[in-house]
Amino acid sequence: MSMTPQEMIDFVDNLYAATGVGDWETASSMLTDDFVAYEADSLPMAGAYRGKNALKDLYAKVMGMCDVAGLDIMETTAGKDNAVTILSIRFADPDLAPAEICEVFKFRDGKCCEIKPYYYDPSAFHAAAKAKAAASAA
């Protein structure tokens, strides 16, 4: 079952909303059984996160590494079986630059089967992780 571009955009908005409030039951229901989220080797949370609980596991790891204050979603565009969202991750420490990213969502049969984020400058995320580690050590 193919989705329209607007259905994909709405889906992405709903997935961000669910994960943003920790509604993992809703989030997992939106993912295929073989879902995978990839994080690049250049990031401290590098790896492939698989299955319906993958986003919950990834979020727990990321939130354990840095203090995320919020996501600022600029725009989502979609076509065929993919949507791309442009966003920035704001950190609790206002002295830290946000991490500017694009996330690619792939869809199959009305659900998300893959997410791949692309970081403009991974050093922003590394700085946030380093700041949290330093604060935790103090």
What pLDDT, in 10s, does the model give residues 63-121?
A: 889 999 999 999 999 999 999 999 999 999 999 999 999 999 999 999 999 999 999 99
For 54-60, what is the mean pLDDT? 95
Q: Per-domain residue ranges for the chain?
A: 5-132
DSSP letters spanning 20-79: HTT-HHHHHHTEEEEEEEEE-TTSTT-EEEESTTHHHHHHHHHHHHS-EEEEEEEEEEEE
Per CATH, the architecture of 5-132 is what?
Roll (3.10)
Q: Global pTM?
A: 0.93
HSE-up (13 A, CA, CB side) for residue 53: 3
